[in-house]
Amino acid sequence: MSFNARTIRLGSCMALGLVLAVLPFLVNNYWTDVCVSIGLYALLALSLNVILGQAGIFHMGHAAFYAVGAYTTAILNTMFQWPIFWTMPLAGCAAGLVALVVARPIIHLRGDYLLIVTIGIVEIVRIALVNDIFGITGGSNGIFGISRPTVAGFRIVKSFHFYYLVWGMCGLSLLLFHFLWNSRVGRALNYIKADDIAAEGCGVDVSHYKLMAFVLGAFWAGMAGTLYSAKMLTIAPASFNFMESVIIFAVVILSGGSQLGVLVSAFLFIGLPELMRGLTESRMLFFGLAMMLMMVWRPQGLLPPLPRVYTKARAVLDRMAAHDSDAKPSTTQEKTL
Amino acid sequence: MSLLEVCDITKIFGGLVALNEVDFTVEKGSVVGLIGPNGAGKTTVFNCITGNYVPESGDILFRGKSIRGKKPHKVVELGIARTFQAIRLFGKLSVLENVLAGRHCRLKSGLLSSLFHTPAQRREEEAAVERCLEELHFVGLDRVWQEEAGSLAYGSQRLLEIARALASDPELLILDEPAGGMNDQETASLVDVIAAIRERGTTVLLIEHDMRLVMKICEKLVVLEHGNVIAKGDPETVKTNPDVIEAYLGTDDGDDEEY
Ligand SMILES: Nc1ncnc2c1ncn2[C@@H]1O[C@H](COP(=O)(O)OP(=O)(O)O)[C@@H](O)[C@H]1O
Ligand SMILES: [Mg+2]
């Protein structure tokens, strides 16, 4: 049963990967661009999933860190002529640093309170950008003239270049976050989500791990910001408003918390409204309705993570059983309740 | 020097004096019982030891060093692990992963080695899984390692909490009503487990209502009533103490295990 579910998931992952690998050859530029946009949302949602899906921290301000990353790249590139990719680690660090500073005093807050404060973060960042803070953000017009990124002399210009860049980054994130999920750190986040008092009582430093998830997610959102700047060439505060945060948040909630779920959910949220372009006015209605249906029909989300696999456990148990039957042949079976 | 010294701690909730200069010690290698009627303040004593509450006055020394005001996870790291009166397992996670939670504080892999899945991280994981399966085997739950913790029978859940606590290599294990809700057969195997824990050299402090159990496994008892220690000493002496008979055994004939 669970073996089957696992096989199906793995199969779907590979099928999705295959489709994504050849997609730009099958569709026109317009749809390639849509998929770039979906990829950026997927990247943001994957990073928010660490915070919201894994650690259960109700953070609705992810667009703020996206903005910090995008502006870091834009400023370094237009004012100091840094190559785009060089700015990427710095964009991540800037976003992570902002996250660390703002989250430290609030991270202990419980769900609903934290939600409200994180909404505040987006607004503060947006207003700071609009007011041309330090005179380097360009006010509400934003920054233009960002240059094209180059990799080893190759200029990334066309839609399908960006497509592979963004989805390559998604693939890498998927892998790293999968490793993270399968580790002591990933488990710690899950313990905290399930019951923070029990987690602390077992020896997990709850505020440390919450902060870690928050800063890591923000770092990733910052790097996504770099890609956004490179793609758009022009950025403005309006692109990082509260609605963006809500969409990223909704993608993660809808996903159920698995990474495959996040990808599917990003396609549904960003792709479907594009398919129904005539209805763009009623996009909000679509969101609302989809969320309501989900709550009723599948409250756990599209694809919750399957249980982790501990491949070595079986061998250890066999060894223990063998050892037992050597030592005291008659009592091994009686202990189990 | 005693392993744990609770020195005159007072804890006040609002106007209620939950603990009034509570004072007792736990010697290394012993099994000590903390008993008393409901609402006497037993769980509050535990919460003060584990850092969930900070007493208004008094001090708590573990291996001679004060642990008063330390955060709960720090206390676990120092070597005191606990179970909860109302079971607090991670119900949706597997039995093994619950025990791995207890092992967490003894593992070193950080964010980067986890993200990049380094060989050292993998080795540590394997060792941790092995160690946790051993703890499950120790309490007799190794065969259900994959089940959801919340799906286990009540008695097994209590044993699982003990395994989780043991996985942190505690020097002192504190158990809050470990037999609560267990049937006779489950209680009997709990007695075996506690005896085995003691054989491992782990010191045990437990709260228990089941007087037969307490008399059988504890070599020292501390009796609380309304936040005051009214008696302490070996079970035989405590049992015949008139204050204790009036306060506790009098209202509960000693064999009754309703609470
Ligand atoms: N967090 C708290 N806030 C207020 N009162 C509390 C709190 N915890 C315990 N108490 C009170 O302290 C007293 C002792 O409780 P407790 O330690 O749980 O007793 P026991 O474990 O011996 O049954 C009770 O009167 C209880 O209501
Ligand atoms: Mg109690």
Number of the ligand 1 atom closest to the C-alpha atom of B45: 17
CA distance B187 to B195: 12
Q: Kindly report, residue by residue over B14-65, the tens digit of the pLDDT.
A: 989 999 999 999 999 999 999 998 899 999 999 999 999 999 999 999 999 9
- Dihedral class, residue A322 (left if φ above 0, else alpha if ψ from -120 to 50, else beta): alpha
> Using a 6 Å cutoff on CB, does residue B180 contact ligand 1?
no
Say how many C-beta atoms besides its own lie within 10 A of residue A172's C-beta: 11
Looking at residue A328, its pLDDT comes to: 54
Would you say domain B4-79+170-250 falls under CATH 3.40.50.1370? no
ipTM field: 0.93
Q: According to the model, what pLDDT value does residue A329 have?
A: 47
Q: Which residues of B239-255 are buried (b: 16+ CB within 10 A; e: fewer)?
A: bebeebeebbbeebeee
Compare all CA atoms of chain A with the CA of B185 and give the residue at the minimum distance: A337
Range from A107-111, A260-264, A290-294, B212-216 carrying the lowest mean pLDDT: A290-294
Tokens of B222: 């501390």
pLDDT at B258 over 80: no
Mutate to test the pocket of ligand 1, among B9, B12, B13 (most ligand atoms within 8 A of CB): B13
CA–CA distances in Å: residue B228 to residues A268, B19, B50, B243, B249 = 62, 6, 20, 12, 16
- Contacts B101 to A, Cβ<8 Å: 187, 191, 198-199, 202-204
- Structure-model confidence comparison of residues A209 and B252, the more confident one: A209
Among A15, A7, A49, residue whose Cα is nearest residue A190: A49
Q: Is B35 close to ligand 1, i.e. is its CB under 6 Å away? A: no
Is the CB of B72 inside a 6 Å radius of any atom of ligand 1?
Answer: no
With a cut of 70, say whether residue A172 has pLDDT above it: yes
A204 touches chain B (CB under 8 A): yes
Strand ranges across the sheet with B65-66? B16-26, B4-13, B57-62, B65-66
pLDDT confidence of A162, banded at 50, 70, 90?
A: very high
Reduce the DSSP state of residue A252 to 3 states and report it. Answer: helix
Tell me: the pLDDT tens digits for B82-140? 999 999 999 999 999 999 999 999 999 999 999 999 999 999 999 999 999 999 999 99
pLDDT band of residue B149 (cuts 50, 70, 90) is very high
Instruction: Name the band, by pLDDT with cuts 50, 70 and 90, for residue A3.
Output: low
Neighbours of B97 (CB within 10 A): 23
Residue whose structure tokens are 């045990």? B204
Of A202, A212, A337, the CB nearest to B155: A337
Contact check, Cβ <8 Å, B115/A206:
no
d(CA B194, CA B199): 9
Per-residue pLDDT reduced to its tens digit, A22-80: 998 998 889 999 999 999 999 999 999 999 999 999 999 999 999 999 999 999 999 99
The rounded distance, in Å, linking the Cα atoms of B63 and B74 is 14
A200/B107 CB distance under 8 A: no
Residues of A (294-333) whose Cβ lies below 8 Å from B: 307-308, 310, 312-313, 316-317, 320
**CB pair distance less than 8 Å for A320 and B116:** no
d(CA A129, CA B173): 54
**Residue A125 one-letter amino acid:** V
Please state the rounded mean pLDDT for residues B159-165. Answer: 97
